[in-house]
Amino acid sequence: MKIKICGITTENEIQMLNTAGVDYAGFVIFEKSKRYITSTQASKLFGRLDGHIQRVAVTVSPNEALLEQIEEAGFDILQVHKELKQEILEKATKPIWLAVNAEDMEQALEKLEWTKQIEPQLAAKIEAFVLDAPAYGSGKTFNWRKSKRLKKAGTNSPPENGLGQKRMLILAGGLNPDNVAEGIECFLPDVVDVSSGVENDNGIGKSEAKIQAFVTAVRSVTTQ
Distance CA 45, CA 52 (A): 14
- Average pLDDT score over the chain: 88
**Sign of dihedral through CA atoms 80, 139, 39, 32?**
positive
Q: How confident is the model at residue 149 (pLDDT cuts 50, 70, 90)?
A: low
In three-state secondary structure terms, 147 is helix
Distance CA 37, CA 189 (A): 27
Q: Choose the CATH number for 2-222 among 2.40.50.100, 3.50.50.60, 3.40.30.10, 3.20.20.70.
A: 3.20.20.70
Distance CA 183, CA 147 (A): 11
Distance CA 126, CA 168 (A): 9
Summarize the confidence of residues 89-108 as an average pLDDT: 88
Summarize the confidence of residues 13-36 as an average pLDDT: 97
pLDDT at 207 over 90: yes
Task: State the DSSP string of 35-88.
Answer: TB--HHHHHHHHTTS-TTSEEEEEEES--HHHHHHHHHHT-SEEEEES---HHH
Where helices occur in 100-148 by DSSP H, the ranges are: 105-117, 120-123, 144-147
pLDDT at 203: 86
